[in-house]
């Protein structure tokens, strides 16, 4: 019986759900002290993207990465850091006392957790996971944790009133898109910086992929390939976020292939009135002098010829230009 129980317990270890989240070893759920070994009561823990000076990086209260902690996180009266869950990869932290005096800065701390293999196992290479701004298509129509739909709605802070995602976890994507695409609309106008617009609770408009196929830029760091041009695409194909093309097209006369229409020539038969010259005198004086007289051959002077042109055909309606397509939802990573 004991052996069966252990077998069942061992099996659970492999079927238990795993999450793309972990924690910061030595930080989460620990008590932080100052240089005099006093608890760092009310201290501030800043969560920062690895390799940057101060770009915020969200950590969460739950393994599903849906309930973001405020950034910075405030330590309790005993100087304890609450439980933190962060996306796999690396992170930078900065710890200060309640007055802002810096106590610790550490970059490239590895997130360790269920999806990272835990203790003793290998960790997930942060370059192999989705990064902020990554596109993904998902076979569904609802929202997806950690992502927002590319539907032309807006993202912003919890106080922004954004229509697709108004939450602290949208900050990284807000700042990334603000810098990556200057053509994305900012509610209230674009300010001095992404951080300033985020702090001002502005809304940023997401890329609009509704009813559109995503294609690659025509240059992508190389010279333009000329496979998409403004002449036919309808916009500069080397500009991030540019859109063009259409579902249908109505041909103009100049776009119709050169061709001819057959004609039918009808001649019902006809005759012409004429006069036949006759000669007076066969010999002697006056021989060979020509004169004229009306012959007995007469006919109509109307030809009766008609030409029948082939009738024009076609209705001049738009024709379909859509390639074989299947529909799903396009998301972008927060």
Final residue before a domain boundary, out of 205, 223, 240? 205
Query: Would 161 be classed as within a structural domain?
Result: yes
Query: Would 121 be classed as within a structural domain?
Result: yes
Question: Which whole number is the average pLDDT over 51-65?
Answer: 89
The pair phi, psi for residue 150, each rounded to 5°, is -85, 75
Q: How many structural domains does the chain have? A: 2
Structure tokens at 322: 């859509």
Residue 331 pairs in a beta bridge with: 136, 149
Separation CA 242–CA 239 (nearest Å): 6
Per-residue confidence at 167, pLDDT binned at 50, 70, 90?
A: very high
Query: Would 93 be classed as within a structural domain?
Result: yes
Ranking 13-17, 40-44, 90-94, 274-278 by mean pLDDT, the lowest is: 13-17
The string of DSSP letters for 285-299 reads: TTTTEEEEE--S---
Regarding whether 118 and 40 lie in a shared domain, the answer is: yes
Query: With contact defined as beta carbons under 8 Å apart, do 72 and 63 qualify?
Result: no
Query: Would 200 be classed as within a structural domain?
Result: yes
Final residue before a domain boundary, out of 126, 161, 185? 126
Regarding whether 188 and 118 lie in a shared domain, the answer is: no
Query: With contact defined as beta carbons under 8 Å apart, do 20 and 147 qualify?
Result: no
Structure tokens at 70: 């405020």
Regarding whether 111 and 43 lie in a shared domain, the answer is: yes
Identify the CATH number of the domain in which residue 49 sits: 2.170.14.10
Q: What is the mean pLDDT of the chain?
A: 82
Structure tokens at 80: 């304890």
Q: What is the pLDDT of residues 276-318, one digit of tens each?
A: 555 555 555 555 555 544 444 444 455 567 777 777 777 888 9
Query: Would 10 be classed as within a structural domain?
Result: no
Structure tokens at 166: 């108004």
pLDDT at position 62: 87
Q: pTM score, two decimals?
A: 0.55
Other CB atoms within 10 Å distance of the CB of residue 57: 21
Final residue before a domain boundary, out of 140, 170, 205? 205
Query: Would 37 be classed as within a structural domain?
Result: yes
Query: Would 226 be classed as within a structural domain?
Result: no
Separation CA 283–CA 115 (nearest Å): 131
Give residue 188's domain range: 151-205
Query: Would 163 be classed as within a structural domain?
Result: yes
């Amino acid at each position: 019986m004991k052996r069966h129980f252990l077998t069942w317990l061992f099996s659970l270890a492999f079927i238990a759900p795993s999450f793309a989240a972990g924690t910061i070893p030595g930080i989460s759920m620990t008590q932080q002290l100052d240089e005099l070994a006093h608890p760092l009561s009310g201290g501030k823990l800043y969560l920062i993207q690895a390799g940057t000076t101060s770009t915020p990086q969200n950590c969460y209260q739950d393994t599903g990465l849906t309930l973001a902690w405020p950034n910075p996180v405030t330590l309790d009266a005993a100087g304890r850091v609450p439980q933190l869950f962060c996306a796999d990869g690396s992170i930078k932290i900065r710890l200060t006392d309640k007055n802002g005096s810096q106590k610790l800065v550490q970059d490239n701390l590895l997130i360790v957790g269920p999806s990272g293999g835990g203790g003793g196992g290998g960790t997930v290479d942060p370059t192999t996971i989705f990064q902020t701004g990554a596109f993904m298509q998902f076979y569904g129509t609802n929202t997806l944790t950690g992502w927002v739909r590319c539907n032309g709605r807006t993202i912003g802070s919890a106080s922004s009133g954004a229509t697709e995602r108004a939450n602290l976890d949208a900050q990284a994507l807000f700042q990334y898109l603000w810098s990556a695409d200057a053509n994305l609309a900012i509610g209230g106008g674009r300010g001095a910086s992404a951080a300033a617009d985020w702090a001002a609770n502005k809304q940023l408009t997401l890329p609009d992929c509704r009813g559109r196929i995503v294609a690659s830029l025509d240059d992508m760091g190389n010279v333009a390939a000329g496979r998409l041009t403004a002449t036919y695409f309808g916009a500069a194909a080397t500009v991030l976020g540019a859109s063009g093309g259409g579902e249908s097209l109505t041909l103009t006369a100049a776009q119709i292939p050169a061709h001819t229409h057959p004609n039918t020539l009808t001649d019902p038969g006809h005759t012409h009135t004429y006069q036949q010259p006759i000669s007076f005198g066969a010999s002697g004086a006056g021989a060979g002098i020509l004169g004229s007289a009306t012959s007995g051959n007469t006919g109509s002077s109307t030809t009766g010829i008609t030409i029948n042109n082939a009738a024009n055909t076609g209705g001049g309606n738009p024709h379909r230009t859509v390639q074989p397509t299947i529909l799903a939802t396009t998301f972008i990573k927060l």
